[in-house]
Structure 1
């Protein structure tokens, strides 16, 4: 990034995109290596999960229909029941393995890309070997932030459920119930988007600052103030693109038996390439957005301090201290 930090506060949506594309093009070799090792497997696993889940669920649904049409207690009933139990076990074990691998690869990818962009920002020499040596040590901090974010989402959904129950009990039989439900759904979605934005930026904060977990969430919340519009647009555009790719894969590959095996494989490869590029672009954009928010709040990052703390000392990742990155405020 060749912009002065004071200038970054003025970047809008397209300015952030332009900066992200510039970084991806200038450092395409290094980011390509990271993508092939971490982000491409992440994309493939996500898409393969959709296909495998569909196959497993179709078998389960078929056997449940057979079970409903079979006399209870008969040998056939007991056999189908055992098969169904085994299929449900397989399905949930597959889901558990999928979410575990997805989480690990997501955290590793975030660590690698954010660390790389920060090195680029400071002008520090960085290569694939150095990135991969730092990543395993950074991702543990990201795990703590993820667990705190998960707790926030869990509590948020519990509160939303309680509000829904109160709404049904209080207004379920009135004409205003529909209007109230629409308002509550909109408020729920706004809150969900807000929490997601805070969590995503908190991941960048976790890698680049000495805070993680709840502290990173609080710091992220403070950073997006004043830049909520552009951060929301970035989030919505990325997720809209993600939904399009997911929909294409589901319709052309998962449910595209009539297209033939060759066409389905071709569309599968295309969706994988689109998805892994979107994942990479999203991580680069999040990191650029972090520097934009820092600049907006007049928090000037000392590049030399950031560079020093991005190094690996004695085989351990040393996070930034608050006095290094909390930054002295400049005035314009």
Structure 2
């Protein structure tokens, strides 16, 4: 990065985005290969999943209701596909995170950067990231369980006031879920960077990221919400045109639109990973926590 550590704490959102976008120019070949080998497959898999799911659903609907055993088998197959797809997508998402965070940190600490060194470091970095992800997932499961229990208690009310309370609580739960989901996403992304660049991972990295977010929570909310909103819009357009647009659009149009949307998702994912790396240094600088580049250089070397 071109900015000195003391300058990072004053970066606004446009500055963070501009700084993140400028990083690949320092080692374009490395980022090109990272994008091609790990970010592109992830982006394609995230968009292409409805194509496989819809084919299974269409196949399931062809069986008559009089054959419950076959229908049950197809339903189980669909659920298993969804489960393993989510597991694969989540696990594979840690690979580009490890690659980009490690490469950006190498540039920041003036460590020689190459695609081969980044790929060599991924196995050890992946283990730390996976432990941190499991900890965040456990927190989300506990939080969702509490919300679900509260919602069930309210839903069992039979009185008129209970129904009105159910409506209000449903709106409150939905809003709370969205807010906490965005916050937990920001917490997870920052904890991932902490897991790579500091000698902590798991719940310790989550605690560290929560401390770093203080004072920068509004920025984190805006960045995460912006990326999630863009991905949501792309997913909707992909579903309408590519997945369900067979009757309204030709094959050529669907291929062109699908390819363009995959390209956009690749760029969004790459920029998102670069932003979370820059945001870590911004938070560290904001809390006056200096980063010893020599120590960071040695820490990164331990992964090789």
TM, length-normalised to structure 2: 0.93
**Which residue pairs with 2:133 in the alignment?**
146
2:84 and 2:154 map into 1 onto residues whose CA distance is 37
Please tell me whether the aligned partners of residues 171 and 177 of structure 1 are also in contact (alpha carbons under 8 angstroms). no
Moved >6 Å (runs of 4+)? none
**Which residue pairs with 2:284 in the alignment?**
294
Structure 2 residues not aligned, in runs of 5+: none
Please tell me whether the aligned partners of residues 39 and 105 of structure 1 are also in contact (alpha carbons under 8 angstroms). no
Query: Greater relative contact order (Cα 8 A, min sep 6): structure 1 or 2?
Result: 2
1:248 has 2:237 as partner: yes
Instruction: Kindly report which structure 2 residues correspond to 1:5-154, keeping only aligned pairs within 5 A, or say none.
Output: 5-63=5-63, 66-67=64-65, 77=66, 80-154=67-141
1:304 is displaced (CA, Å) by 1.1
1:13 is displaced (CA, Å) by 0.8
1:283 has 2:273 as partner: yes
Please tell me whether the aligned partners of residues 144 and 213 of structure 1 are also in contact (alpha carbons under 8 angstroms). yes
**Which residue pairs with 1:173 in the alignment?**
160
Please tell me whether the aligned partners of residues 189 and 276 of structure 2 are also in contact (alpha carbons under 8 angstroms). yes
Structure 1 residues not aligned, in runs of 5+: 68-76, 319-332
Instruction: Kindly report which structure 2 residues correspond to 1:286-325, keeping only aligned pairs within 5 A, or say none.
Output: 286-312=276-302, 317=303
1:266 has 2:266 as partner: no
Of the structure 1 ranges 173-182 and 230-239, higher mean CA displacement relative to structure 2 is found in 173-182
**Which residue pairs with 2:186 in the alignment?**
197
1:193 and 1:6 map into 2 onto residues whose CA distance is 28
1:129 and 1:153 map into 2 onto residues whose CA distance is 35
2:169 and 2:80 map into 1 onto residues whose CA distance is 39
Of the structure 1 ranges 53-62 and 10-19, higher mean CA displacement relative to structure 2 is found in 53-62
Please tell me whether the aligned partners of residues 151 and 169 of structure 2 are also in contact (alpha carbons under 8 angstroms). no
- Work out the number of aligned pairs and report it: 301
2:250 and 2:104 map into 1 onto residues whose CA distance is 42
2:111 and 2:148 map into 1 onto residues whose CA distance is 49
1:168 is displaced (CA, Å) by 2.9
TM, length-normalised to structure 1: 0.86
